[in-house]
Amino acid sequence: MSSPILEMRSITKTFPGVKALQDVTLEVTSGEIHAICGENGAGKSTLMKVLSGVYPHGSYTGEIMFDGEEVRFGSINDSEDKGIVIIHQELALVPYLSVAENIFLGNERQRGGLIDWNQTNADALDLLKEVGLDELPVTPVGALGVGKQQLVEIAKALSKKVRLLILDEPTAALNDSDSEHLLGLLRKLKERGITSIMISHKLNEIASIADSTTIIRDGQTIEKLDMRSGEVTQDRIIRGMVGRDLENRYPDHEPTIGDEVLRVEDWTVYHPTEPGRVVVDKANLTVRAGEIVGIAGLMGAGRTELAMSIFGRSYGSKATGKVFLHGKEISTKTVSEAISHGLAYATEDRKKYGLNLIEDVRTNISAASLGKISKAGWVNGNEEIQVAEGYRKSMNIKTSTVMTHTGKLSGGNQQKVVLSKWIYTAPEVLILDEPTRGIDVGAKYEIYTIINALADAGKAVILISSELPEVLGICDRIYTLAFGRITGQVDRSGATQESLMELMTQEKEPVR
């Protein structure tokens, strides 16, 4: 049996008023893929930041043994010098630099004291091929979607002499096929002797790839599971994470579906920097009151582009087609117009577009509806606090006060703040783009319950998701997109993952 490459002993990390980690132990065997599981806020990312030097030695208690020697990292550079590379959940890329420049930032390919651009681009191209990303090295990172940016982060990590690769939710932004590609890449790295630690909420992925799994709950190590035995089920992992059995991943729901609320006809969207390129091609869809309609498609199919363009032309250089609300054509040329007509859009990237992370929960919840709590241009602070407190309680946002900075909340609680913000606008149509991305199973269940309650209140809900089990588990009707075109629509009762995937990969005339 291989010896441990990493041992973390009695790690305790305290923030003002919060003990994030308490006597946590972690042992990782050389050459294995080790998973870390736990609910949002359990301390997983904090533990990895301690390991990688983001939280330097002296800011925590306990000891870290790497390759048989105690290490005391004062910075992330110190851990990288030892071959420990971390890819954070929040991508650390510069959008205005090229893919190649991002990959070798701080690790530049030089000749004679100058950057060797030919070598830089050639090496970047090799790394992009390794991670399966078909992009030119000179492409600006900001022009890529979040999933492709994740692959650039992986390529950046591989450019260093990595011995222990830490991935914090590496597949959260990827669809099933891209996730499988990434898991295959981890297996190849394992064959090369590279050890990996993967934090993930996708339990099916953990079951398929992990050699062992450590479960953390409320800042403490609960147990370590040997995944190679074949006896560890997803339900067993869930029980360790939440401290109880979660009998059904999706809450029971009997929909009451009413009249049509939203109709989109012949909606066509053009690329923002390539005006002649069609991204969404003559899409037609409807949503009724009390109905949860899913939109499923592979990365690049046009799901987010469709949603953002409908919501105030937030994407694209041009959009044509018609939008109807209760049978009456409306204009949604600006975000303000879309909101005024009762549309709301919760973005897939809550940290970049959905929230102001340096502001508190209170101001984030009221941000889209300041007119409701303002008079003569002045915000009524007391009323703003009362509104936010109401949502903190009703949405079960885990924070002691609405004055807490939103960036300090876990992913699940941040998502509840996003939903609170848009629910406060009193919308008739809610477009939810990847609402459970990067959220643990317990928090997902809460989000699903909120979505069902919105539908029961007569809202028309559009749910975009990369996870087919989620689409099948929560939606009443499902549209599929492929290459910018709607290729089918099916009721949940007649849909399977296989039938949806077949529609999601079709190249044919869109369904009218």
| pLDDT at 503 > cutoff 60 | yes
| pLDDT at 78 > cutoff 90 | yes
Q: What is the pLDDT of residue 512?
A: 43
Question: E strand or H helix at 430, and its extent?
Answer: strand 429-433
| pLDDT at 106 > cutoff 90 | no
Identify whether the C-beta of residue 153 lies closer than 8 Å to the C-beta of residue 145: no
Determine if the pTM surpasses 0.85.
no
User: Measured in whole angstroms, how far is the alpha carbon of residue 23 from the centre of its chain?
Assistant: 29
Contacts of range 202-209, beta carbons closer than 8 Å, 24 or more positions apart: 202/171, 202/172, 203/37, 203/234, 203/237, 203/238, 203/441, 204/234, 205/171, 205/179, 206/35, 206/37, 206/237, 207/232, 207/233, 207/234, 207/237, 208/183, 209/33, 209/35, 209/183
Say how many C-beta atoms besides its own lie within 10 A of residue 34's C-beta.
Answer: 23
Give pLDDT tens digits for 300-321: 789 999 999 999 999 988 999 9
- What the block records as the tokens of 267 is 């909606």
Average pLDDT over residues 12-34: 90
Q: What is the pLDDT of residue 234?
A: 84
Among left, alpha and beta (phi > 0; psi -120 to 50; other), residue 314 is alpha
Q: What is the pLDDT of residue 510?
A: 42
Decide which of 179 and 473 is more confident: 473
Question: E strand or H helix at 84, and its extent?
Answer: strand 84-87
pLDDT category of residue 173 using cuts at 50, 70 and 90: low
Identify whether the C-beta of residue 301 lies closer than 8 Å to the C-beta of residue 466: no
Q: How far is the C-alpha of 7 from the C-alpha of 28, rounded, in Å? A: 7
Q: What is the pLDDT of residue 181?
A: 79
Identify whether the C-beta of residue 440 lies closer than 8 Å to the C-beta of residue 38: yes
Identify whether the C-beta of residue 52 lies closer than 8 Å to the C-beta of residue 44: no
User: Measured in whole angstroms, how far is the alpha carbon of residue 157 from the centre of its chain?
Assistant: 20
CA dihedral 60, 63, 66, 67 (to 10 degrees): 180
pLDDT category of residue 483 using cuts at 50, 70 and 90: confident
- Ordered domains of the chain (ranges, CATH): 4-242 (3.40.50.300), 248-342+427-511 (3.40.50.300), 356-425 (no CATH)
Amino acid occupying residue 87: I
Q: What is the pLDDT of residue 225?
A: 93
Average pLDDT over residues 191-213: 90
- What the block records as the tokens of 86 is 């971390």
| pLDDT at 92 > cutoff 90 | no
Q: How far is the C-alpha of 459 from the C-alpha of 255, rounded, in Å? A: 11
Identify whether the C-beta of residue 336 lies closer than 8 Å to the C-beta of residue 358: no
